[in-house]
Structure 1
Amino acid sequence: MARLLIQGFEVWKSHLDSKAQTDLIQDLRPILKGAPLFSPTTASGKKMSVRMTSAGSCGWISDTSGYRYEPNHPGGRAWPAIPDSILSIWRDTTGLDRLPDSCLINYYGEDTKMGLHQDKDEADFSWPVVSVSLGDDALFRMGNPTRGGKTESLWLSSGDVVVMGGEARLSYHGIDRIRFKSSRLLPKGGRINLTLRVVT
């Protein structure tokens, strides 16, 4: 297991072994049943290619009313709790006692990407964001706290974890593409990305 530091992004390569990855997928199944994936739109009304849901006391929502956290799934039910197996990744990689309020769950299909963006809908940017990759490889682009300038890219594999804190907390980042069916973790292919955030 290697730990890389790239433009302030802390990348924990192969942090989760194959069994831990399989166990995580099993822990996600009841969450996805209770809070099904949905296709959000941007504030401008454009449909995102990624599908998402959340776990925790609040979940991230994007629609024509803007970007925000809400206590309930768009279907009306409260979000499921974050499993201990996911919280343990937060503890292992950050060393923090303060636990995240929300776990955003994104599913990337064959042609899914995520443009460069900042995670800035939280109240306190002193807490890191922890990102967990499961499934197909993804080309992760890392930028700067302001738009433009030099970016660096790195292929993330299943089991990799990225910690975005300190100087990288408000840096732009995104997913340019995935290598569809490069992993056998998800029977139908694709990538699941978990991002843990302290919201309040």
Structure 2
Amino acid sequence: MAGTHGNLQPVDRALVRCHGTFFTGKGTEDLEDTRNEFLSNLDLAVAKGARRWLEAGYQIAVTNLCALLDYGLPTNVLMRALDASTKDTPKRKIVVGDEPASAKSQEASETQKPTNTDDKNAPIATATEAKDDVVDLSKRFKEVLQFVESTDIVVLSRLGDLNILAYLNVRLMFLRQMAILKGPGGAEAKPPAIGF
């Protein structure tokens, strides 16, 4: 892909690089520069794009929401909320790196020998191996959230511009859907305060 993005506009190239970093977790050392490049070119891209930015705005909003959902990873905090809202019973807790009590219990369970084995010489996971299995999702989620919020700030600063409506529609519909989710344990969803 190194030579395939030559025809992209600078704002598009920076967006692809940011999301590539979010998706793979590689290239994080350049993330801040790439994010700043995207944000500095975004306002100009909206202004120059005119009506064409309606589609681009929609695509950027959807792409950013995919990143917020960690591209469907079930351990993502928002994916867990979506999953819990469709279940009648609370789901088993998933260990996330920023939850120290959970991480300690994960380490304790990782170091215990499985009960269904008869082999006394079976390998037992050490605490350091267990720590390697815990991913610090909170840092990654916060980076993505900061990127999405920064994008929102740039786009919403053009509030009188009709070209941002597609972006705004996608973001508001996502927020509405998250707001009407059923609560933990299958509690009833609250209807929106404003009917459509």
With the length of structure 1 as denominator, give the TM-score of the two structures: 0.19
With the length of structure 2 as denominator, give the TM-score of the two structures: 0.20
Comparing both structures, which one devotes a greater share of its residues to helix? 2
Larger-gyration structure (1/2): 2
